[in-house]
């Protein structure tokens, strides 16, 4: 696995000032596949300075030219689609089919959507006797997670670039290789030096230095709510704009009129996808008590089909965390219908597809984000009870509602405290805003709403 031994700074790959290295480990066999620099505060400072220097020129670049660079970036990523998929598989452990269909294809589509938006967005509007200008917010720090390693970078970098911002990306230390591929593609796309910079490094060192840096105007972070609180506090103390896409504990509400088999099968697939390492996964399935036993049996059967078809978790720490949650669920009274509290293999960071039944709303597994292939199935008595349970966590990122009548599902969805709801299995839309209510975050990503996160307004009165 090819890796750069430097950081991408001011349009070139340069040796990091820090001599520390990060081992990139394949979660399937636990072998080191590459090493990358663990950048320190001085490297972060150099990257931010490069972005600051490049900002005036890029901000003044016509939106049509920014759109052309983003189109070239999309094309450069598309040309490397197979390499991207293989790289994500090597560092995340994702099965190659899923890497091709999701980890490679989705970010290419998102990059293309921002190329179009950059060309069509109204960066000026007239409001009464005022002209309102939508201007780039400045230098962006993008701190991204490992679970969708390229998508999460593109979901921040593409709108930032479309807006006229310059950016420093700090990818997760588990998945830095696809981030390096992204920097190569940006270079090939002809982005001016300093417009996009990449520092690989550890969160508490490089991430913290980036969040604290006085030369950064906006911090965009995706990851755990715990780390998001720290970054939000740091940014808030500096009166710096922050965008946070954090955890979730999304409810999959199956109303009595729904096609139960379809709702359960799609719900199980949603949780097992990416080995459960999805912040928006529907990890709580809510079923009316009259159909509960049937639903649990359907879920058990569905989980058994996955077997070895799901990949490992990203690292040993995550594996131990998820197995610990399964143990805690059983200890608190949940019934283990599928899966195990033990790893299914001697090697690799695998966790079996797991279904927990007889879960009650106050249990730990019904309240806290597990981030693994673990589904909790809960009973409800009536629609009001289902709504109370669905809204009864600190999170509000996503969700699903199933009903025989679409209008019935929509009426329920309107009452859910969450940022995104899929109706009867609605498909992911890369143009729709993505983000959370409550402790699931601040701000939105994707589409026009994602673009506006990177803009600030100025009013000219006439």
Q: 253: Cβ–Cβ under 8 A, 6 or more apart, which residues?
A: 286, 386, 390, 399, 400, 401, 402, 412, 416
**Catalytic (active site) residue 245:** yes
**365 CB-contact burial (10 Å; exposed 0-12 / middle 13-18 / buried 19+):** buried
In the 8-state DSSP scheme, what is residue 434?
B
Strands 6-9 and 241-245: unpaired
Helices 63-79/177-188 angle, 10° precision = 130
- The Cα 401–Cα 408 span in angstroms is 9
With beta carbons less than 8 A apart as the criterion, state whether 232 and 242 touch: yes
- The Cα 30–Cα 346 span in angstroms is 11
- The Cα 199–Cα 180 span in angstroms is 9
- The Cα 327–Cα 293 span in angstroms is 22
Runs of H (alpha helix) within 39-194: 41-59, 63-79, 81-92, 96-98, 105-120, 149-163, 177-188
**Catalytic (active site) residue 165:** no
Strands 284-288 and 251-254: parallel
The catalytically annotated residue of 91, 212, 279, 445 is 279
Runs of H (alpha helix) within 125-176: 149-163
**298 CB-contact burial (10 Å; exposed 0-12 / middle 13-18 / buried 19+):** buried
The catalytically annotated residue of 86, 245, 408, 453 is 245
Q: Which residues are catalytic?
A: 245, 279
């Amino acid at each position: 696995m090819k890796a750069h031994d430097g950081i991408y700074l001011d349009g070139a790959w340069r040796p990091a000032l820090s001599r520390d290295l990060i081992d990139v480990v394949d979660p399937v066999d636990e072998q080191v596949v590459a090493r990358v620099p663990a950048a320190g505060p001085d490297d972060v400072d150099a990257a931010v300075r490069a972005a600051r220097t490049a900002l005036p020129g890029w901000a003044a670049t016509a939106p049509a030219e920014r759109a052309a660079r983003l189109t070239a970036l999309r094309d450069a990523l598309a040309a490397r689609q197979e390499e991207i998929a293989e790289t994500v598989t090597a560092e995340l452990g994702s099965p190659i089919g899923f890497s091709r269909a999701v980890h490679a294809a989705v970010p290419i589509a998102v990059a293309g959507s921002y190329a179009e938006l950059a060309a069509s967005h109204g960066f000026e509007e007239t409001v009464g006797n005022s002209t309102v200008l939508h201007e780039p917010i400045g230098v962006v720090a993008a701190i991204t997670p490992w679970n969708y390693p390229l998508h999460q970078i593109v979901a921040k970098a593409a709108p930032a670039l479309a807006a006229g911002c310059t950016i420093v990306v700090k990818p997760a230390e588990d998945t830095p290789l696809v981030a390096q591929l992204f920097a190569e593609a940006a270079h090939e796309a002809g982005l001016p030096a300093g417009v996009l910079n990449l520092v690989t490094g550890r969160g508490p060192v490089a991430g913290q230095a980036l969040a604290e840096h006085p030369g950064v105007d906006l911090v965009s972070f995706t990851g755990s709510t715990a780390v998001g609180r720290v970054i939000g506090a740091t940014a808030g103390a500096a009166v710096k704009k922050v965008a946070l896409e954090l955890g979730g504990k999304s409810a999959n509400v199956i109303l009595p009129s729904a096609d139960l088999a379809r709702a359960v099968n799609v719900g199980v697939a949603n949780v097992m996808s990416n080995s459960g390492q999805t912040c928006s996964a529907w990890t709580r399935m809510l079923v009316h008590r009259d159909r509960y036993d049937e639903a649990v049996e359907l879920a058990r059967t569905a989980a058994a089909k996955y077997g070895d078809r799901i990949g490992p978790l990203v690292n040993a720490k995550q594996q131990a965390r998820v197995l610990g949650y399964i143990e805690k669920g059983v200890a608190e009274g949940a019934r283990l219908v599928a899966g195990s509290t033990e790893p299914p293999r001697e090697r690799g960071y695998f966790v079996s597809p797991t279904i927990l039944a007889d879960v009650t709303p106050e249990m730990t597994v019904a309240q806290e984000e597990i981030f693994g292939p673990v589904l909790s199935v809960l009973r409800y008595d009536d629609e009001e009870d289902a709504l109370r349970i669905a809204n009864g966590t600190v999170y509000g990122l996503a969700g699903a509602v199933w009903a025989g009548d679409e209008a019935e599902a929509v009426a329920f969805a309107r009452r859910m405290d969450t940022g995104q709801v899929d109706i009867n299995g609605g498909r992911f839309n890369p143009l729709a805003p993505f983000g959370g209510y409550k402790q699931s975050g601040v701000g939105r990503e994707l589409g026009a709403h994602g673009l506006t996160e990177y803009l600030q307004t100025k009013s000219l009165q006439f």
